[in-house]
Amino acid sequence: MGKNVVVIGTQWGDEGKGKVVDWLTEHAQGVVRFQGGHNAGHTLVIGGKKTVLRLIPSGILRPSVRVYLGNGVVVSPTALLQEIGELEGAGIEVRSRLAISPACPLVMPYHVALDQAREAAMGETRIGTTGRGIGPAYEDKIARRALRVQDLFYPDRFAAKLERVLEYHNFVLTQYYKCEPVLYRQTLDATLALAPAIQPMVADVAALLQAARRAGESLLFEGAQGALLDIDHGTYPYVTSSNCVAAAAAPGAGIGPQMLDYVLGIVKAYMTRVGTGPFPTELTDAIGTQLAKRGNEFGSVTGRPRRCGWLDIPALARSLQLNGVDGLCITKLDVLDGLPSIKVCTGYRVGGEPVALLPTGAEAVAACEPVYEELPGWSESTFGVKSFEALPATARAYLRRIETLTGVPIAMVSTGPDRDETILVHHPFH
């Protein structure tokens, strides 16, 4: 019997999920994306060569692994085919290995226009989206007016649906945002022209995953963004537009929750956040600048600089509860090399009262004052270290302290971006 593992980001995204998924797929026959769209940015480095995946699951770089886009993913036809072309240009076979659910909502040009118009109108209060139309595409799904992948193959049906939805969105674009409309005929022709290239990859993903389970295959479910950006449980409204907690793998891929056997939570050794929103442990001093520089903290999709801060245990504890995390993978430990001391936020104070867990909503989080515990740093390099015992004693103590504070064991430690720069403590698939 195979074993299914969910890999989830436990912070505000950018934890290093892609590298970990790629490493784990040596033991999996399939990798499944179940939410988000091409707003993800999963960076893989193999043999020194860097690849950034936005929509295609990270298992694609393993030749024997099949990859799936579940119904919970929103798909831009243009972005999909562009990414496939980039991978094929690097010699990677995609089309015969990718299965796309026919129920995936489409990200269309009017979604991009709405996303960008909305962010521009909000000015300083903007959410900080990637501007790629992901949020508006999910809005159409919930409003039951979305065009879906399956509509692409019925031109008359597609045209009629597009005409209705575009009339609505163009009214908002022109009358409210005072922007140019999105042209119907141009959008129709350009989108339908992509349908023949997409159709051979469309399949009943939910049925395929059930068949894989019956065949004893192991599957890996790849989360995008991070739990603190979850539409329900994150720092609302400064969140993404989908549920990105582990449980979302079930409805987002079309499987029962009993098929999820193990949850691996990816934890960066410090905190980062892109865009606006509260960040209790944010560092605006020289240490924050040093973490950003050493950690190359720039978004792989947008290129925007990431804000940096100390590890936040109350936020992490909330995330671990939400996701039912079985084991941790600590990433970017090497970025802390050389710091004389390291702070860890162990709690908050709000109005003078102690608070042990990240509260609900942005306003409540913004009121939190961090309470720190200071730990000794280490001068030795941890970059590329491949065994736990080879880490400096104080680095090991830092990791053990994280285990104690969270109550969750460490399964893996990433000590560099390359596939083999990984310490295995306990294998999630075993």
Contacts of 418 (CB under 8 A, 6+ apart): 45, 46, 47, 48, 384
Q: 369-376 and 341-350: which strand pairing?
A: antiparallel
Per the annotation, the verdict on 426 as an active-site residue is: no
CA atoms 203, 206, 212, 214: torsion sign: negative
Q: How many other β-carbons are positioned within 10 Å of the β-carbon of residue 167?
A: 11
| Per annotation, catalytic residue among 42, 111, 169, 233 | 42
**Spatial distance between the Cα atoms of 234 and 318, rounded to a whole number of angstroms:** 10
Q: Does residue 14 have an active-site annotation?
A: yes
The SS3 of residue 205 is helix
Q: Are 34 and 221 in contact (CB under 8 A)?
A: yes
The owner of tokens 């389970």 is 213
Q: How far apart are the first and last CA of the chain?
A: 12
Q: Which tokens is 167 given?
A: 């009339």
Active-site residue, from 14, 140, 326, 334: 14
The three-state secondary structure class of 410 is strand
Region label for 219, one of left (φ > 0), alpha (ψ between -120 and 50) or beta (otherwise): beta
Read out DSSP for 130-163? -SSSHHHHHHHHHTT---BGGGGG-HHHHHHHHH
Strand order in the sheet with 410-414: 98-100, 66-69, 30-33, 219-222, 5-9, 262-268, 327-331, 410-414, 422-424
Residue 100 near residue 149 (C-beta atoms within 8 A):
yes
Residues carrying an active site annotation? 14, 42
